[in-house]
Structure 1
Amino acid sequence: MTTASIARVLVDSPLPQLDRLFDYRVPDALAAEVRVGVRVRVPLRSAGRIADGFVVELVEHGEFAGALSDIDAVTSPVPVLAPEVYQLARRAADRAAGAASDIVRLAVPGRQARVEKALLAAGPRPPADAVARPALVAPIADYPVGRVESAIAGGARLALDAVPLVTRTRSGDWVGRWATTAAACAVAALASGQSAILAVPDYRDQEQLAAALADVLPPEAVVRLDARQSNPDRYRAFLRCLESEPVVIIGNRSVVYAPAARLGLILIWDDGDPLHTEPLAPYVHSRDAALLRQELQSCALIVIGHSRSTEVERLVEIGWMTAVTPAPAVLPKVIPTAQQPATDRLAAQARIPSSAWQAARSALESGPVLVQVARPGYAPRLACADCGQSARCRNCEGPLAQKSSSAPPACTWCGALAVGWRCQNCEGTRQRLVGAGATRTAEDLGRAFPGVRVLVADGERPLLAVDDAPALVIATRGAEPIAAGGYRAVLLLDGERMIARESLRVAEDCLRWWSNAIALAARGAPTILVGVGGPIASALATWRQSDFVRAELNDRRALRFPPAVRVATLTGTLESVTRAVAAVAPDPVDVLGPVDLGPGSVRTIIRFDYNNGAAYASALRAEVVRSATSRRKAAAVKGPRPPLGPTLRVRFDDIEPFLDA
């Protein structure tokens, strides 16, 4: 064994007790194929199973003193797990008390043999002439001269306030100014011989970013890597990222794990969007993964948005990131206004104040008008017409809603039609509409503005762009299309309903939703914020969102809510959760709970300072492994036994328990 190579393998398994490197002997027959990063198949001693894995290291002497098993086979000769990506996965998993294999599963797409063989047969790609690539300098000039470029060259961390405008590319596409700024940052990195990774929340943002990049870079310099691609296309793009030539890689949250030759920049757009939060264990936010990767590879990190998240504001306040604002500042025209009084008959039909009605009527003479609403559908909720109690489904007790004026009421949970509905409170049979969704708003405004084209944009009817002809565009938050030349007016409805939602992040989310919608207006076009006043309206009117977010963060500090502190949510049996809480002792622990979640399951929240994060994550990770192994032993016992309860689950930085008061 002294002369034979030993491969240290990360086994692809969801079992937490297998989250470590295993030593395997490299047989002579596979010595030429086994390399760091390749996929392999290895035996597991239990039940003679064969598992998939990745070679992470090749060493002469392993840590295991006993006899080693041989690697069974090399699945693919392509080294798909780059060393820096594994280091990032390990660091991110350790920070979140999770498994590295879960993150590697997000970072490395499933193998597509035909794609792989075709690319291997084609041979290496000829190097492109990086000097011939055009450079785009004007959008970065929105900021202090050379400030962003020097930060990219020096590997700095910036919190960039986006310019709230739309702009036209040379090819005629209209995109947000943030997209051209991101494209300019990518060009700056590429010009220095380094790759750039650009992460956005969803496909709408990705289309804008792709259009901005197409204006300044050849197609072969840009790689798209996102979940909407087919498996072969995604794997083909992933293999392109593994090549030695620097490229610009764009995609959604998991793109922060993409391999990149000589990585020089990671840029994240709108990090406050919940789509940046990974819904799979260990639930690492793309911003946190980017921060870890920036430390590991000393690249530049830019977080850009119209409104900062409280997480980014905290990093700015502690000096970990530097805030950069546009110079000179571009201030939108935002007009907060109250909801229409009962005597306002002129606008009652349109569900907006007369001032907003007049602004929309004037703007429609020259182009489109955006109307943002809170909910899709026709009536988001139905209630009993007699007693006013919320109408509920007879099958599952879910709330009833109506998708259109002609559609029958149906349950929003199970989809069952409310045929023969009867109120459980008063036995009434009549229902009334509560609230107005995008479809009903479109009908109301269509009657208030006869002869005007009305378009609806929501999750069921995606609309990416509209022309500059007069139209009323009714869109739910986050689904607003880009208008050619910008909207001539923006109406933000349902503000009072949005801000009244019980959530820890409600004010932060509303500020971000409204800021992104305002940024779609043409220069100088009015934005009417209906039914909202106070500090959040003042922040939008003066375009000083950072002041509001700073005050929000101070309130969170006083209450010890995230992101002022870190939190770990523990879910499982009372015994396993109690043992996990005790595992972090004797350190002082701020414990909330346990709270009963149902049969055999409880939840406890631990709050702690950031400097204790590594120790707590290590201790809780050990408890997860203990819980999993003890459950396995219990399952192996013969004879009758009580049903097994849920295993211990740990989630760091989870705000869901704080959503509802």
Structure 2
Amino acid sequence: MSGADAGPPVADVQRAVGDRAVDDARRPVIARVVLDSPLPQLDRLFDYRIPDAMAETCVPGVRVKVPLRTGNRMADAYVVETLSENAYPGELSVIEDVVSAVPVLAPEIWRLARAVADRAAGVASDVLRLAVPPRQVRAEKAFLARDTSVVRPAVLAPSISAYPDGVVERLVVNGGRAALTAVAHPMRLADDSWVSGWAMTMAQAAARTIATERSAVLIVPDFRDLAELERAVTSFVPAERVVRFDAKQTNGQRAKALLQASSEAVVAIGNRTAVYAPATDLGLIAMWDDGDPSFVEQRAPYVHTRDVALVRTAQSGASLLLAAHARTTDVQRLVELGWLEDVRPLRAVTPRVVPTAQQTAAEGWLAHARIPSSAWKAARDASRDGPVLVQVASPGFATGLVCADCGERATCRRCGGPLGNQMSGGAPECRWCGALAVAYRCPTCGGGRLKPVGNGAQRTADELGRAFPGTRIVVADGGRPIDAVDERPAIVVATRGAEPAAPGGYACVLLLDGERMLAREGLRVAEDVLRIWANAAARASRGGTVYLVGIGGRLATAMATWRLDVPAHEELGDRRQLHFPPAVRVATLTGTEDAVSAAVEALGDATVGPVLGPVPVLDTAGSVPAGTVRAIVRFPYAHGTEVAATLKAEVIRRSSTRRVLPGGNRRRAAPTLRVRLDDVEPFAEA
């Protein structure tokens, strides 16, 4: 028999058998999964055995279905990691099915979700619902069928204008962190269109990042800012390398964006969920106007987008830019700690702000009008050549209604909220619950006639229309959103936050109703109002004039000098003395009195100052069970991990207990304790 007929040498056979044995030893046999469940007692990794048929497809990041022994049912889950050895001596359950072979949970997003949930005493699966959209088969098929041989066009790294040479560039390249004071006037793009100064800066920083084939994540509060940012980014970066993550997208669009961001370096832009966008080699996280209430997540575990960005920056080593005109006390604290670098524009052209409360008394009683004569004349002159912006506090026609006979404030019969008018002559409706009050009768005198008090956007527009005959009047509010106006003469009446952009900016801006804005109760009223004024003032053109009507004191001084960080510094100093956030962290505990008291007792000496409460929770809508109380616990940042773990353990203990019903049946009791950490307004009435 010849050598060829004798078969392979014995040594080769032994080597092949040995290699196969090594491969079998390295083959993953255990999958550690996180269940898609909001139950806090299930918030941990579970081990399952991987069947041989799923060895190739069951990889980290894929969706799977697994059995739950205790519930005798199937549950959705994500594979977090796979192991080649089983340390558990018993028999493991087997993964039932791999739902899709496309990984959708990136390792860095899992680490982020775990850290965010632990920091907020929450459940990781609640965070993952924000980060990963439901499965979309069409998007996955298109992703698998994509042409991977396409070479993306290179991106040139532009210089970042309006700042000292090399300062912002150094931060972006070297993983720096900065509180960025935004440029306070519109800037022109290469196509002669205009965007806000902050949008230009973020776009240039993103272009420098992706030029090095690193991803950038840019986060803005709402759709107006997102549209402006997208125009700025696409002027520096090809559109195919820009992906959106926003609330208006369908699940299919979100899934497509997620898969693209996880496979190549892109610029991810969007609202608060964009902070969870996967990224290949994340290089930059930039956030605009972190004080905007839109960044407060309304779903558990209620983590502020700024806090998620801080955690992700610490994990990834990416650069961080927190841009704003008026700095929040949270950012000011990080600046004073040295964690953020204070970066300001070079030779900034700031708006010319005129506080009318500091005008001379020469105008007499006219100085106390809703629009002083000096502001009126400036608006009249500016409206002949272009648009003029008038910011008001409230939408609708009248902010309130009173009885025409006795002057009693008109309130809703259903919830006790104030009544108002959306349009002149319209039916009264509640500003809280929206109920109509068609046949309203005054409970004091029985009168049926109501008269408006206060000026909403529509009433202000009507008055200005009579004062400026022949001038175009534009109303922009939540019900009539307008992104931009043209350069034609107009009076633009806008509610706070709804101010449309104008080409080159407004020649004149009037900020009305400041006293009413400041009259609202809350811990952050002053910094919120200052932020609202500053954002509207930044809509002015170079050389434009801004009139701050009826406001004096330190806020007016800060606006006039455009040193908007000074009030944040002073406010933070006051809060340190009072142990108020953000000088300390807070935890709001809501539930039955015994559950809240037990949770406070479990914290021991980790708290700062006396515990506030517990006090009964007032709920006019009837959605809170009777006997519910609330307590506020303050604690230092150094004890954050300890406090969050203790409170979560209390929530798990309360959620997993069972009570005996008549007849001997045992049923899991309804949760009697809810925990919320770092509430933006912890002292607001529930």
Normalising to structure 2: TM-score of the pair?
A: 0.92
Which residue does 1:648 correspond to in 2? 673
- For residues 624-657 of structure 1, the C-alpha deviation after alignment (integer angstroms, 9 at most, x for no partner) is 1111101xx1277746999966531111111333
The verdict on how the C-alpha distance between 1:183 and 1:61 changes in structure 2, with shifts beyond 3 A counting, is same
Q: 1:618 aligns with which of 645, 656, 663?
A: 645
- 1:129-528 map, 5 Å: 129-130=153-154, 133-137=155-159, 140-243=160-263, 245-338=264-357, 351-528=370-547
Distance 1:367 1:352 in 2: 19
Q: 1:13 aligns with which of 23, 26, 37?
A: 37
Distance apart, 1:167 and its partner CA: 1.6
Q: 1:117 aligns with which of 129, 141, 158?
A: 141
Which residue does 2:49 correspond to in 1? 25
Distance apart, 1:63 and its partner CA: 5.5
Q: Secondary structure at the match of 1:579?
A: helix
Distance 1:164 1:31 in 2: 57
Distance 2:666 2:48 in 1: 37
Which residue does 2:636 correspond to in 1? 609
Are 1:582 and 2:609 an aligned pair? no
- For residues 43-77 of structure 1, the C-alpha deviation after alignment (integer angstroms, 9 at most, x for no partner) is 11123110101000101335544211000001111
Whether the aligned pair in 1 keeps the contact of 2:28 and 2:55 (CA below 8 Å) is no
Q: Which has the larger radius of gyration?
A: 2
**Aligned length, in residue pairs:** 653
Distance apart, 1:584 and its partner CA: 1.0
Distance 2:138 2:320 in 1: 36
Which residue does 2:82 correspond to in 1? 58
The one-letter amino acid paired with 1:594 is: P
Distance 2:411 2:343 in 1: 50
Q: Secondary structure at the match of 1:523?
A: strand
Q: Secondary structure at the match of 1:187?
A: helix
Distance apart, 1:330 and its partner CA: 2.0
Q: Secondary structure at the match of 1:524?
A: strand
Are 1:90 and 2:117 an aligned pair? no
The verdict on how the C-alpha distance between 1:588 and 1:378 changes in structure 2, with shifts beyond 3 A counting, is closer
The one-letter amino acid paired with 1:367 is: G
- For residues 390-445 of structure 1, the C-alpha deviation after alignment (integer angstroms, 9 at most, x for no partner) is 20123333321101113121222343332221111232222221211100000011
The one-letter amino acid paired with 1:30 is: M
The one-letter amino acid paired with 2:191 is: S
Distance 2:352 2:504 in 1: 16
Which residue does 2:127 correspond to in 1? 103
Whether the aligned pair in 1 keeps the contact of 2:606 and 2:635 (CA below 8 Å) is no
Distance 1:339 1:435 in 2: 24
The one-letter amino acid paired with 1:659 is: A
The verdict on how the C-alpha distance between 1:268 and 1:461 changes in structure 2, with shifts beyond 3 A counting, is same
The one-letter amino acid paired with 1:220 is: E
Are 1:78 and 2:102 an aligned pair? yes
Q: Secondary structure at the match of 1:316?
A: helix
The verdict on how the C-alpha distance between 1:397 and 1:125 changes in structure 2, with shifts beyond 3 A counting, is farther
- 1:37-48 map, 5 Å: 37-48=61-72
Distance 1:125 1:563 in 2: 50
Whether the aligned pair in 2 keeps the contact of 1:384 and 1:432 (CA below 8 Å) is yes
Identity %: 55
Distance 1:337 1:47 in 2: 68
Distance 1:470 1:589 in 2: 56
Whether the aligned pair in 2 keeps the contact of 1:4 and 1:25 (CA below 8 Å) is no
- For residues 23-57 of structure 1, the C-alpha deviation after alignment (integer angstroms, 9 at most, x for no partner) is 00000111111000000010111231101010001
Normalising to structure 1: TM-score of the pair?
A: 0.95
Q: Secondary structure at the match of 1:576?
A: helix
Whether the aligned pair in 2 keeps the contact of 1:360 and 1:489 (CA below 8 Å) is yes
For structure 1, the 5+ residue unaligned runs are none
The one-letter amino acid paired with 1:111 is: R
For structure 2, the 5+ residue unaligned runs are 1-23, 619-625
Whether the aligned pair in 1 keeps the contact of 2:43 and 2:125 (CA below 8 Å) is yes
- For residues 443-479 of structure 1, the C-alpha deviation after alignment (integer angstroms, 9 at most, x for no partner) is 0111111111000000000000001111000000000
The verdict on how the C-alpha distance between 1:640 and 1:6 changes in structure 2, with shifts beyond 3 A counting, is closer
The verdict on how the C-alpha distance between 1:69 and 1:123 changes in structure 2, with shifts beyond 3 A counting, is farther
The one-letter amino acid paired with 2:221 is: P
